[in-house]
Structure 1
Amino acid sequence: MNKPIIGLTMGDAAGIGPEIIVMALLEKRVRDICKPLVIGDTGIIRQALQIINGRATVRKITEIGEARFKKDVMEIIDLDNLDSGLIERGKVNPLAGKAAFEYLQYAVSMALKKDIGAVVTAPLNKEALNKSGYNYPGHTEILAELCGVEQVSMMLVVGNLRVAHVSWHLSLKEACNFLSKEKILTTLKLGLQAVGRMGVEKPRVAVAGLNPHAGESGLLGEEEIIHIIPAVKEARGQGIDVVGPIPPDTLFYRAKKGEFDLIIAMYHDQGHIPLKMLGFFEGVNITLGLPIIRTSVAHGTAFDKVGKGTASPESLIKAVELAVQLTNKIEERRFS
C-alpha cells in the first residue's frame, strides 16, 4: 500500500505548533508511514527548526503538485498570507489567527478533493482567531462549516481509551440544556463508526451520567431519566452493546481496566479531564461526522513553552499515526 499524503496545518504561528511539527517530521516513525505536507509559513517553520537545533531543508511550494517528499526535506505549501516579522512568540496576534484559519481552510479543501488522505492540525489560539474576525470557539465548529455538515462530535483517544462528547465548546449551563436523547444517540453512532475504523469489531459502549451518581434515580437530577436512559434503551433496541448511565467517577476507572471500548461523555470536561490525566502527551483529538479524516493534538498553543525547544511532539505524532491508520482502513475497504 502506498504511503498516504498527510496535510499538517501549522496552527497559530505564535504558538507551539511550528516547533512540534518540525520535531515530528524529523522522526523516522513519521516518515516511514506517510508523506507529510505542511500548510503554513516557510519562515516560521525555518525559525522553529533553528529553535530545536534540527537539520533539514525547508522547501517552499505553492501547490501539492510541486511536492517531492524527499528524505530530510520539509515541504511547506506557503499561502504567503503572513509576515513572520510581525509575529512575536507566545503573544496573541490576530494576524496569526487569520493565517491559522486560512491554513485549515486550504487543507480541508485538499482533503475534500482527495488530494491528501487526512488533515492533522496543530493548535490554533481561539482568542487570536476571534480577534481576526473568525468567530468560532474552536476547530470542530470550523471543520463542520467548511465540510457542510451539521452532526459532528469530538472524540479524544489515549491508547485504547476512546471518549466521544455529546457537547464540547459550551458553558456547563449550556451543555446541560443542550442534552437530548437524539444528540446522545447521534454521538454514540458517530463514535461507533470511528472505533470500527480503528479495528474494534464488537465495541462495548458505556454512557456516562450527567449528575453525581448518575442522578441517583432522580434525587440528584432528572437528565438521566429524561434523556440518557431513553437513549441507551433505544440503542440497545438497535442491537448496540451499550450500558449506562454509569457514574463518571467510576466509569473511567472501569474503562481503563479494559471493560469498554467507547465512552460517551455528556460534556467537554467530563471526558477531557480523565483522558488528559491518563495521557496528556499522547492524547489525540478526532472530529467525528466529517467527510474527511481530521485528527489533532489534544493540547493548546502552549504560549509559555514557545521558543524553548522543550515541547513534546508526542501528541502530534500520535495524531499522525491515527490519521494514517484511518486513511489506510478506508483504502483497504475500497479495494476489498
Structure 2
Amino acid sequence: MNNLPIIGITMGEASGIGPEVLVKMLNDISGKNVCRPLAIGDARVLELACRKFDVPLKFRAIGHPKEADWGSEEINLIDLQDVPLEKLEAGKHNAVTGRAMLNYTDKLIEFYKEESIHGGVGGPHSKKAADLAGYNFLGYPYYIADMIGEPDPFMMLVANKTRVVNTTLHVSLRKALDMITKDLVFKAIKAGAEAMALFGVDKPHIAVSGLNPHSGEEGMFGTEEEEHIIPAIEAARELGLNIDGPVPADSLFYQCTTNPRYDAYVAMYHDQGHIPVKVDSFMDASAVAIGIPYIFATVDHGCAPDIAWQGKANHGVLRTTVELISQMAKNKYNL
C-alpha cells in the first residue's frame, strides 16, 4: 500500500453530483491498489451521500495527510466542515457550496506545494457556484495557475490514447481567434510534448490543427496559419519535437481511436478539440491540467444539477480520472 501514490480527490460542488460520484468511486476502488486516496470535502455531506445511496463507506476525519492511516479500511478525509446541511439544496448552487468547492482545491494545492501528495483530482465543478461565491472561475487549470503564479496553463483532454491539448479554452470564439499567436501555439505544443512523458511516451508524435477551413489554403481563407501556427510548429521542430501540421481540423481526428497515428493533438479552440473527444468518448474523458508543475485532472463533465442527489450519477469517469492521475504520478515519481 505504501508504494502507491497519494492522490487528493475533492468533493467538487456539493449541490451537484460530486458527493455521489465521490463516495461511489471510493467504494469501487477500495482494495484495488489504484492509489492511496485522500478525500477532501465535508464529512457531513459525504456521510449523507453514503446513507442516501447505500454506500458502505466509513470516513476518518484528519487535518493533514501526515495523520492518515493507510492501513485502515476507513477513507482518510480532510474535513473542512464548510457546507452546513441547511445550506445544501440538491441541484441549486449557492455562494456557500461555490466557496467550498474552491476551498477544497486550495487545500489540495497546499498539500501539493509541501509535497504531501503525489497528484490531485478535482470533483465536478460549477462555474456558476464559483461566480456566486465571488470568483470568476474559468476552469481548474486557470484557477490553479493563478494560485501558483504560472502564466501559461493548458488543458489536455484524455480519452484512452486520444490526447488533445486546447490552445485556448473557456473564452468566446471571437476572443479565441484574437488569442492565437505564434507564442501561445508554441507554448501549447511544448506543454503537450512535456506532458507526454507522464503518459510513458518519451518521443511523442504530435499533430497541430489549423484554425481556418483547409488550414487557410495558403492564405486564401485566413492568414493565421501562415503568420502564427506554422512559425510555432517550426519553432517546436527546432527543439527536436516530431510535429505534423497544420492539419485541417475536419480531417485530423477521424482515425484517432481506431488506428491512431499521433500520440497527441493540439487544437486551436474549445469546440475544435472537445467535439471529436466527446463524440467518441462522451462519458470516458478526463481533463488534465498541463503547463503547471502539478499532476492534476478533473472529469470532463459538469456537476449535473438536473440529476443531483437522485442516485442516477455514474462514477465511471471519476474512477477513470483517478486511475489516470495515479499512473501519471507513478511515472513521475517512479513508484
The verdict on a shared fold, with TM-score over 0.5 as the criterion, is yes
Q: Which amino acid aligns with 1:268?
A: H
Aligned pairs for 1:19-34 within 5 A: 19-28=20-29, 31-34=32-35
Q: Which runs of 4+ in 1 moved over 4 A?
A: none
Q: Specify the alignment match of 2:270 in structure 1.
A: 268
* 1:105-143 Cα shifts (integer Å, max 9, x gaps): 011000111101111111221011011112222212110
SS at match of 1:150: coil
SS at match of 1:325: helix
- The CA deviation at 1:45 is 0.7
SS at match of 2:134: coil
Q: Specify the alignment match of 1:156 in structure 2.
A: 157
**Equivalent of residue 301 in structure 2, options 299, 302, 308:** 299
Q: Which amino acid aligns with 1:326?
A: M
| 8 Å CA contact 1:15, 1:301 repeated in 2 | yes
Aligned pairs for 1:173-252 within 5 A: 173-252=174-253
Q: Against the structure 1 CA distance between its residues 179 and 84, is the aligned structure 2 distance closer, same or farther, given a 3 Å change threshold? A: same
Cα distance in 2 for residues equivalent to 1:315 and 1:41: 22
| 8 Å CA contact 1:59, 1:74 repeated in 2 | yes
- The CA deviation at 1:59 is 2.6
Pairing 1:279–2:281 present: yes
Q: Which amino acid aligns with 1:155?
A: M
TM-score with structure 2 setting the length: 0.95
- The CA deviation at 1:84 is 2.1
SS at match of 2:40: strand
Identity of aligned residues (%): 37
Pairing 1:320–2:322 present: yes
- The CA deviation at 1:42 is 0.6
Cα distance in 1 for residues equivalent to 2:324 and 2:148: 20
TM-score with structure 1 setting the length: 0.95
Q: Specify the alignment match of 2:64 in structure 1.
A: 63
SS at match of 1:253: coil
Cα distance in 2 for residues equivalent to 1:158 and 1:222: 32
Tell me whether 237-246 or 292-301 shows the greater mean CA deviation. 237-246
| 8 Å CA contact 1:126, 1:137 repeated in 2 | yes
| 8 Å CA contact 2:203, 2:241 repeated in 1 | no
Q: Against the structure 1 CA distance between its residues 200 and 30, is the aligned structure 2 distance closer, same or farther, given a 3 Å change threshold? A: farther
Cα distance in 2 for residues equivalent to 1:260 and 1:152: 22
Cα distance in 2 for residues equivalent to 1:29 and 1:64: 18
| 8 Å CA contact 2:284, 2:316 repeated in 1 | yes
Cα distance in 1 for residues equivalent to 2:71 and 2:279: 38
* 1:132-190 Cα shifts (integer Å, max 9, x gaps): 11222221211001122112111000000000111111100000000011111111111
| 8 Å CA contact 2:176, 2:269 repeated in 1 | yes
| 8 Å CA contact 1:207, 1:242 repeated in 2 | yes
Q: Which amino acid aligns with 2:164?
A: V
Tell me whether 168-177 or 271-280 shows the greater mean CA deviation. 271-280
Q: Specify the alignment match of 1:99 in structure 2.
A: 100
Q: Which amino acid aligns with 2:133?
A: S
Unaligned runs of 5+ in 1: none
Q: Which amino acid aligns with 2:281?
A: G
Cα distance in 2 for residues equivalent to 1:63 and 1:182: 40
CA RMSD between the two structures: 1.6
SS at match of 1:273: helix
Cα distance in 1 for residues equivalent to 2:221 and 2:30: 49
Q: Which amino acid aligns with 1:290?
A: I
Cα distance in 2 for residues equivalent to 1:132 and 1:139: 16
Q: Specify the alignment match of 2:113 in structure 1.
A: 112
Unaligned runs of 5+ in 2: none
- The CA deviation at 1:240 is 1.4
* 1:243-297 Cα shifts (integer Å, max 9, x gaps): 1111111101132321111100001111111111211221011111212111111
Q: Specify the alignment match of 1:144 in structure 2.
A: 145
Cα distance in 2 for residues equivalent to 1:18 and 1:283: 19
- The CA deviation at 1:320 is 0.9
SS at match of 1:48: helix
- The CA deviation at 1:29 is 6.8
* 1:21-60 Cα shifts (integer Å, max 9, x gaps): 1111111377412111111011111122123211121232
| 8 Å CA contact 1:285, 1:295 repeated in 2 | yes
Cα distance in 1 for residues equivalent to 2:31 and 2:169: 29
| 8 Å CA contact 1:24, 1:30 repeated in 2 | no
Cα distance in 2 for residues equivalent to 1:238 and 1:64: 39
SS at match of 1:75: strand
Q: Which amino acid aligns with 2:269?
A: Y
